[in-house]
Structure 1
Amino acid sequence: MTSDLRNRLLLLLVLPLCLLALVGVWMDYRSADDAASRHDQRLLRLLPALSDSVVAPSIHDNQPPLLLLAPPIEDFLRQNPGYSGYSVRDGDGKLLLGDDWVVSVVPTTAQPEFHSLEHGGVTYRVAVQRGRTGAGELVVAIADGSDPRQQWAQQLLLRVLLPNLVLVAAAALAIHWAVGRAFKPLVDLAEAVEHRSPRDLSPIDEAASPTEVRPLVHSLNRLFALVNAQAEGQRRFVADAAHQLRTPLAGLQAQVEAWAMMAKASGALAHEPERYEEKSMPAPMNKPQGAIVLRADQIEKLRNATRRTSQLAHQLLALSRADSRSLDAQPPQRVDLKDLCETLLESFLDAATGKGLDLGLEVQPVHVTGHGWLLRELMSNLVDNAIKYTPPGGVVTMRCGMRQGASGPPRVYLEVEDDGPGVPEAEHTRVMQRFYRVPGTAGEGTGLGLAIADEISHVHRAHLTLGAGAHGKGLRVTVVFPA
C-alpha cells in the first residue's frame, strides 16, 4: 500500500516537473526564435550598407569593383571575427568580392532572402539581396555565425535537455526521500500493528500518529476495545463455568470412587459383570422400593466419565488462565526447570507404573523467567498425553537443559518424548487447535493438551515444535525458550 502510494506521488510530482521542463524548452526556443528574428532584421539593415560599400568602375570597363566598407559593415566584421563573412557576386553568381564560401542561390527578385549555411563546423545565417550598387546590379550576401536560433539547435542537449534532465532526476530523488520520510510514521504504525501479538489489544497512541491518520488510529482503537471486551467476556465465561464445575464434579468423582472401592471390596468387579446388590452395602436387610441397582461395568464407565469431565473442566480453566491478559500484571519469576521436571516425575510415576510404562528423566540445572504454575501446567499436559497414548511397555522421557540452535547462543528447552503411535506430520498444525484429535486415535481425550501447551509457550515467547521420537517412532514435543 505504502509503496504504491509512494510511486503514485512520485509520478504525480515528477510528471508536472517534466511538463515544466518541456515548457522551459519551448520558452527557451521561443526566446531564441525572437532573438533570431531580431538578428535577421539586423542583417537586413546591413545589406544596403554592404551594397553602398561597393564602389568601382562599371564592370563593362573590365575593371574589378572596389569595396570601401561602410562603418556598419566594418563594425559588424570587427565584432564577429571568425563568425562573419560577406560576398559580392554578379547576376550569374560569379564571386567578385568577399568570401567564396558565402554562397547562395541568386535571387530572381529584389526581395531579401535568408537561409542557413554550414561552414567550418559553424552554422551561419546568410542574408542575400539583389540590388543596385556603385558597380551596377549585383548580388550581395552577408553571413553571421552568431545566430541564437542556430546556437540553440546546436546546444540543445548541453544547454537545455541535460540541465532539465538533471533537475528532474534530482527532484525525483528528493521527492522519493521526502515521501519516504513523510510516510515513515505510517509505515511504523503498520509495522506496529502487524507485529502485535493476538493477545495485545491495548490502544495505539494517537498523539504519536500523523494528524491525517489519527481518525484511522481512533477507529482501530475503538475496534480493539470492542474485540477486547468480547474476548474478555468469553474468557470470564469459560473461567467461571470451569471453576463452578470443579466443585460438583469433584464431589461426584469422590462419590463414584467410593462406590468403586466398595464394589471392589465386595468382589463385584469381577471379569464377569455382576449386579451391584445391597450385599456390598452395610444397609438394612430390606431393599428400599425403587432403589437403583448398578452393575460393575456401569460403575467403571461412570468413574471414567467423571474423570474425563473433571479433567476437561481443569483444562478449560487452565486454558482460560493462560489466555488471560491478567498475566501481564503478574511479574514473571525465576523458574527452576530441573526441579519442575523432578516434581512432575513424582506426580506421574504411579500412573506410568500402573500402565507398565518406563517414565524417565534426563535433566540439567537450567532456569527460565516466567510463570512457574503455567510451565507446570504445560509439562503436565505433555506428560499426561504421552502416558495416555503410549501403549503398555513403552518409554516416556522428560528432558530439560541447554541446546545449541542453528544460529545464535544456546537456548533453554523442555522436552517430552514417547514411543507411542505419534502424530502424522500433516497433522502437526491441526493438533495445536483446540478440541481437535487425529482421526482414528485410540483412547479418550479432549483435544486440549497440546493447545494448552502451545498457548503457554506463546505466553513465554517460546516456540513449541512437534517431531518424531527416537528411530522415527512416537512423538517428541520440544519447547525452546528465547535466548
Structure 2
Amino acid sequence: MSTGLQRRLLALLLVPLLLLAGFNTWFDYRLAGNASLQQDRALLALVPLLADSVVARPLSEDAPLPLLTAPPVDQFLAEHNGLAAYSLSDLEGRVRAGEVWLTGPTPADATPAYYGEEQGGVHYRVVAQRVQTVAGELVARIADGSDARQQWMQQLWFKVLLPNALLVLGLFFAVNWAVRRALRPLLELKDQVERRSPRDLSAFDAEASPDEVRPLVLALNRLFSLVSAQAVSQQRFVADAAHQLRTPLAALQAQVEAWAQASTHGGTADWRDRAGSVSGTKHALAPVDITVSAEQVQALRAAVRRTSQLANQLLALSRVEARQAHGAAHRVDLAQLCETVLLHHLDAAAAKGIDLGVDTAPAQVDGHEWLLREMLSNLVDNAIKYTPTGGHVTVRCGRKDGAPFLQVEDDGPGIAPTEHEQVLAPFYRVPGAPGEGSGLGLAIVQEIAAVHGTHVALAPSPLGTGLRASVGFPVQKP
C-alpha cells in the first residue's frame, strides 16, 4: 500500500467482507443443523413403524425375525438407496434383522439415542431406541447417510471455506484496484506537490480535480497565494530598502574617498562644516573644524565600503529571488563571461599581489547573463578577499561529461568540509574567518544556481590548501 489512506480504505472495506464471510459460514451451519434436526425427527418417526414390521415371534432365538416392512420404511430405503439402513437387535446386541454392521451400545431405557457411524466411507446419522414388538423387547436402529450436518462438516473446506476464501481473495484484488483507481487523483496531487520547486507557488487547476479533492486543492491554492504575497512583500521591502540605501551610501563613499585621498598627504584632514551657509537657513551656524587621523579615515572608508557592498548584495539577492524579473533565458557564452569578470577584478587582485588567471574552454548555457555574471563575480570576489598576498586564483569554464561548468579555485585558507552547507546560508560567516564580510556572497551564488536548476559544490582545492567552488549545469540541448 502506498498511502495510509489507502490502507484504511482497504481495511474498512475488507474487514466487513470477512465478517460477512464468517456470518455466511455460520448461517450455512445453522441451516445444516436445522435440516439435521428435521431429519432426526423423521428417523425417529420411522422407529415405531420398524417395530410394527415384526409380524410374528421367531421359532427359535437363532431364527430370523419374520418382517413385513411398513410402506414408509420401504419408501425411506428406496429414496436413500445405498445411504440408508436399519437393524433390529436383541438386548444382548445380536442383530436379528437388517444390516449386521449397524450395531452399538444398548440404550438404558426407551429414550431415543442419536450417534454417528462410519461405514464404507459414508458417515451415517443413527437413531437407536428400545421398542416393544410381538417378538419381545428389541433395539431398533435406523441410519441415514445423507445427514445434512454431517455432510456439511465433511465438505466444509470444499463447499464453504474454499469458496469464501476465493471470494475474499478476489474481492481483495478488486477492492485494491478500485481504491487505487479512486485515489489516483489524490495520489497525482501528492506527486505534483512533491515535484514542485519551493519557489513554485502557482495555483493548481481546481477544475481538473474530483469534487472530493477540490476543497483540498482550493485550500492549497489559498495557502500558496498567501505565501506568495508574503514572499513578494518581503522581496519588495528588501529591494526598496537596499535601493534607498544605495544613493546616500554612494554619496557618503565619494566624500569619504576624497577625504581619504586628502588625508594621505599630511596624515590628518580638516573637515569644515559649512552647514550654516546653505541658502534658505535663517540662522548661520559657526564653522566647525574637525581634525582626524589618517587611520581613522581609513577605518571609516572601510566601514562605508562594507555597508555599500552589503546594500548592493541585498539588492542583488532580492532581484534573484524575484523570478519575474529574470526575463527569458538565452544562450550565454561562459568563456566570454569569465573574461569579463576577470577584467573587472584585475585591479583588486593586483592590489593584493594575487595571480588572477583564467582557464577557459568553449561552453555555453541557457540562462540569464546578468545573474551568471553576478554569481561568478561573487565567487571571484570571495576568492580574492580570502586569499593571502602572493596567492593564486583561477577561473575556469568548460565541459565535463558533456555538461558545462563554472569553477573558481584559490589557495587561501579554505573552508572546513563541515561548514560547506552552512556557508551557503545568508549572513553566515565561518567563525574566525579573516577580513570583513556580510555572509551574503555564497548565499547569492546558491540562489542564482538554483534559478538555473543546479547548485554550488564546495570542495578542498587539489593544491592542498584553499577552496574549489564549482557550478555544474545540466546538459544543454543543441
- 2:312 paired residue among 294, 307, 314: 314
2:220 partner letter: L
2:439 partner letter: G
> 2:386 & 2:436 partners in 1: Cα distance?
9
- Partner of 1:470: helix, strand, or coil? coil
CA contact (8 A) 1:368 1:412 kept: yes
2:323 partner letter: R
Tell me how far 1:60 sits from its aligned partner. 4.5
Tell me how far 1:482 sits from its aligned partner. 2.1
Q: What's 1:439 paired with?
A: 431
> 1:16 & 1:218 partners in 2: Cα distance?
34
Cα distance change on mapping 1:324 and 1:114 into 2, 3 Å: same
Q: What's 1:336 paired with?
A: 333
> 2:306 & 2:62 partners in 1: Cα distance?
138
> Structure 1 residue 231 and structure 2 residue 223: aligned?
no
Q: What's 1:479 paired with?
A: 471
CA contact (8 A) 1:2 1:187 kept: no
Tell me how far 1:196 sits from its aligned partner. 2.4
> 1:56 & 1:339 partners in 2: Cα distance?
131
CA contact (8 A) 1:56 1:64 kept: no
1:323 partner letter: E
> Structure 1 residue 420 and structure 2 residue 412: aligned?
yes
> Structure 1 residue 180 and structure 2 residue 176: aligned?
no
CA contact (8 A) 2:411 2:463 kept: no
> Structure 1 residue 218 and structure 2 residue 215: aligned?
no
Q: What's 2:458 paired with?
A: 466
- Partner of 2:399: helix, strand, or coil? strand
> 2:113 & 2:306 partners in 1: Cα distance?
113
Cα distance change on mapping 1:127 and 1:301 into 2, 3 Å: same
- 1:379 paired residue among 356, 376, 379: 376
- Partner of 2:81: helix, strand, or coil? coil
Tell me how far 1:186 sits from its aligned partner. 2.0
- Partner of 2:217: helix, strand, or coil? helix
Cα distance change on mapping 1:66 and 1:387 into 2, 3 Å: same
- Equivalent residue pairs, number: 461
Q: List aligned pairs for 1:283-432, cutoff 5 A.
A: 289-327=287-325, 330-404=327-401, 410-432=402-424
> 2:131 & 2:403 partners in 1: Cα distance?
105
> 1:62 & 1:468 partners in 2: Cα distance?
115
> 1:230 & 1:62 partners in 2: Cα distance?
112
Moved more, 339-348 or 163-172: 163-172
1:146 partner letter: S
2:354 partner letter: L
Tell me how far 1:143 sits from its aligned partner. 1.0
Tell me how far 1:441 sits from its aligned partner. 0.7
Tell me how far 1:101 sits from its aligned partner. 1.4
Q: What's 1:283 paired with?
A: none
> 1:372 & 1:233 partners in 2: Cα distance?
26
Aligned identity (percent) is 54
Q: What's 1:276 paired with?
A: 269
TM-score of the superposition, structure 2-length normalised? Answer: 0.90
> 1:420 & 1:300 partners in 2: Cα distance?
25
Moved more, 213-222 or 316-325: 213-222
- 1:452 paired residue among 444, 450, 462: 444
- Partner of 1:212: helix, strand, or coil? coil
Q: What's 1:195 paired with?
A: 195
- Partner of 1:292: helix, strand, or coil? strand
1:167 partner letter: L
> 2:435 & 2:185 partners in 1: Cα distance?
54
Tell me how far 1:131 sits from its aligned partner. 2.4
1:93 partner letter: G
Q: What's 1:156 paired with?
A: 156
Q: Deviations over 1:14-57 (max 9, x none)?
A: 22212211211121111111111221222223323333433454
Question: Runs of 4+ in structure 1 displaced over 4 angstroms?
Answer: 59-62
- Partner of 1:211: helix, strand, or coil? coil
> Structure 1 residue 75 and structure 2 residue 75: aligned?
yes
CA contact (8 A) 1:57 1:63 kept: no
Tell me how far 1:322 sits from its aligned partner. 0.2
- Partner of 1:180: helix, strand, or coil? helix
Tell me how far 1:194 sits from its aligned partner. 3.2
Which sections of structure 2, spanning at least 5 residues, go unmatched? 272-285
CA contact (8 A) 2:334 2:363 kept: yes
1:345 partner letter: L
Tell me how far 1:61 sits from its aligned partner. 7.5
1:319 partner letter: L
- Partner of 2:142: helix, strand, or coil? strand
Q: What's 1:285 paired with?
A: none
Tell me how far 1:239 sits from its aligned partner. 1.0
CA contact (8 A) 1:58 1:136 kept: no
2:149 partner letter: R
Q: Deviations over 1:176-216 (max 9, x none)?
A: 22222222222222332233222222222222333233333
Q: What's 1:282 paired with?
A: none
CA contact (8 A) 1:419 1:470 kept: no
> 2:98 & 2:63 partners in 1: Cα distance?
16
Tell me how far 1:263 sits from its aligned partner. 4.2
Tell me how far 1:90 sits from its aligned partner. 1.6
Q: What's 2:34 paired with?
A: 34
- Partner of 1:114: helix, strand, or coil? strand
- Partner of 2:213: helix, strand, or coil? helix
Q: What's 1:261 paired with?
A: 261
TM-score of the superposition, structure 1-length normalised? Answer: 0.89
> 2:29 & 2:322 partners in 1: Cα distance?
74
Moved more, 426-435 or 71-80: 71-80
> 1:245 & 1:15 partners in 2: Cα distance?
68
2:290 partner letter: I
CA contact (8 A) 2:412 2:467 kept: yes
